[in-house]
Amino acid sequence: MVSVSPFCCKLDLYLKSTNVDYEIQYSNFKGKAPRGTKPHVVSVEGTRLGDTTQIIRHLVERGGIDLDVDLDQQQKALTHGLKCLVENHLFYLGMHYRFRTKEGDKSMQQSAYVTLKGPAKSAAKIYKKKATDKRLRGVGMQHWTDAELEIAFKEDLRTISTWLGSNTYFHGDSLTTADCILWGVMSQLYFDPAFADLGFVKWMESDVPNLVRYAQMIRAKFYPESA
């Protein structure tokens, strides 16, 4: 994975697929981010932009870099629906499994926390747990039962699987913004060891195999070094 953030992976695929020249710089410090979130970018003119939706809008409006130029209004509406489902619902369910389970903690020890030692690692774990609790409380999920969380998680993925159908990409034969959104979350849910340890990868391979094939295809085509 390029990042443990689905939003960073989303933007990376957008930039990579449009042949935009860019350089990735990793940092845990978000103080300079315009919206206090990852990713944020600095344009060649020195403008700082935050939030993937706003960054992509800037690329479209200022640079004419538009993956969706050939989509009709119904397809664009479906892209918006996918974005809302993934970024305003499924994302939070993924946060729960990554930061509030022992399987997620084990995975983070091997990825995001790997460079931290001693008190710094402990502090990071506590901070992420509290931050996740706060964000889940904000969307009404903090006190959901394990069964309720699992049902919602699987319902979201089944819905996306139905939308994708037998298409190569989300809208057919060409990669669009919807694919960047979908890759962002699938890069985490399928390739993060936590979700295998939780039994979700085996479930995906059985119940939503088209999403599995999709994630494997995107990684093989755009990230062959990690395939």
Q: In whole angstroms, what is the distance from residue 227 CA to residue 216 CA?
A: 8
pLDDT for the residue numbered 223: 95
Mean pLDDT of 48-61: 87
Mean pLDDT of 165-173: 98
* The residue to which tokens 């410090």 are assigned: 29
- Residues composing the chain: 227
Greater pLDDT, 19 or 84: 84
pLDDT for the residue numbered 166: 98
Residue type, 36: G
Q: Confirm if 215 and 183 have CB atoms less than 8 A apart.
A: yes
* 172 strand-pairing partners: 169
Q: Confirm if 5 and 40 have CB atoms less than 8 A apart.
A: no
The percent of residues in the chain predicted with pLDDT above 70, rounded, is 84
Prior bond of 39 cis (ω within 30°): yes
What residue spans of the chain are helical by DSSP H? 6-17, 52-63, 73-85, 91-99, 102-109, 118-138, 146-164, 177-189, 193-197, 200-207, 209-222
Residue 169 pLDDT greater than 50, yes or no: yes
pLDDT for the residue numbered 114: 47
Greater pLDDT, 57 or 115: 57
Q: In whole angstroms, what is the distance from residue 83 CA to residue 86 CA?
A: 5
Residues of the chain with CATH 1.20.1050.10: 73-226
Q: How confident is the model at residue 34 (pLDDT cuts 50, 70, 90)?
A: low
Mean pLDDT of 89-94: 97
Q: How confident is the model at residue 215 (pLDDT cuts 50, 70, 90)?
A: very high
Q: Which two tokens stand for residue 14?
A: 């957008």
The percent of residues in the chain predicted with pLDDT above 90, rounded, is 64
Q: What DSSP letter does each residue of 187-219 carry, written as one string?
A: HHHTTSHHHHHTTHHHHHHHH-HHHHHHHHHHH
Residue 4 pLDDT greater than 90, yes or no: no
Mean pLDDT of 15-31: 76
In whole numbers, what is the pLDDT of the chain averaged over residues?
88
pLDDT for the residue numbered 129: 83
Q: In whole angstroms, what is the distance from residue 173 CA to residue 117 CA?
A: 46
Q: Confirm if 159 and 85 have CB atoms less than 8 A apart.
A: yes
Q: What angle do CA 217, 16, 116 make, to 5 degrees?
A: 90
Q: Confirm if 161 and 210 have CB atoms less than 8 A apart.
A: yes
Residue 110 pLDDT greater than 80, yes or no: no
Other beta carbons within 10 Å of 204: 22
Q: What angle do CA 106, 94, 185 make, to 5 degrees?
A: 110
Residue 51 pLDDT greater than 70, yes or no: yes
The CATH number corresponding to 73-226 among 3.40.50.410, 1.20.1050.10, 3.40.640.10, 3.10.290.10 equals 1.20.1050.10
Q: How confident is the model at residue 58 (pLDDT cuts 50, 70, 90)?
A: confident
* The residue to which tokens 């690329």 are assigned: 59
